[in-house]
Structure 1
Amino acid sequence: MEHGTIERELHIDASPEMVFDVVSNPEHVREWWPDEAEYPVVPGGAGRICFGDPVDGGTWVQFTVVDAVPHRLFSFRWTHAEGEVAAPDNSMLVVFELEPAGSGTRLRMTESGFRERGWDEAKAAAEHADHVTGWDHYLPRLTAYAARLGASA
């Protein structure tokens, strides 16, 4: 089985402008993905996200914005070690591509980098499976949250 990339395509009942904010702005991101998010929404913006209670043992993960093109594209690298500059051989790349679709937005999410990390087959398979499970949990939350915001806008 190939463990190189995770791809998902979603339809969201909200405008591309709203969806871009939901996938890029830390205030919105923490409503559907991590419990805390701290980073500037600019290319090269470095920060971190936390899963779990940040005050009581949450897991902080490094996060670096790669690209931020309003209403069209947001990408970032994550999971690199603290103190390291995010690069293809030490981090995962997540890309959110947005395009208008009827009255909503088509969102394509791709995560890659499993092969580039240099892990053996078992480690690559385990990390890939863990991320598949994670995205399968979090992406429906993104869709529901963005649709709620879109309905109230």
Structure 2
Amino acid sequence: MEKKGLIHISSTGQRYKKYYLDEARAAVDSIWTDIPGFGTRTAAREITGYATQKPESLLERIVKASSNEGDLVADFFVGSGTTAAVAEKLGRKWIATDLGKFAIHTTRKRLIGAQRELKASGKPFRAFEVLNLGRYERQAYLNVGGRLSGKEKEQA
């Protein structure tokens, strides 16, 4: 590539590949129509019942494009656990959080399933821990409309 003049060497010695405007390159499209939805048999097996769930193939593309094996992937609104499950299958470390009990339960079940798949195929997987850092849903529910107060909230 150096002989063809395609490498630029900076004053610090760093090498960069040159790109020219007239080179034919396919731009990454902002609309991905090649990822099937949940109407296919493969995707239908992934359905967890979570309203905002995304197909694993979509998250797989995003995780592969934005991280390398061993990197940390974070999802702070984990929902059905698709991101964490895909990250585990792709050998990424992950952190997943959510305030909802249903989301945590759904994600836990999904990750156990992902671990079983990895174990059955002889691939490595990591143990995970579910931590409850508060009673957020309970508190939010009890504070709506001020129906309960003081000792009533504590006893609920």
**RCO higher in structure (CA 8 A, sep ≥6):** 1
* TM-score normalised over the length of structure 1: 0.30
| Higher-strand-fraction structure | 1
TM-score (norm 2): 0.29
Task: Say which structure is richer in helix.
Answer: 2
Larger radius of gyration: 2
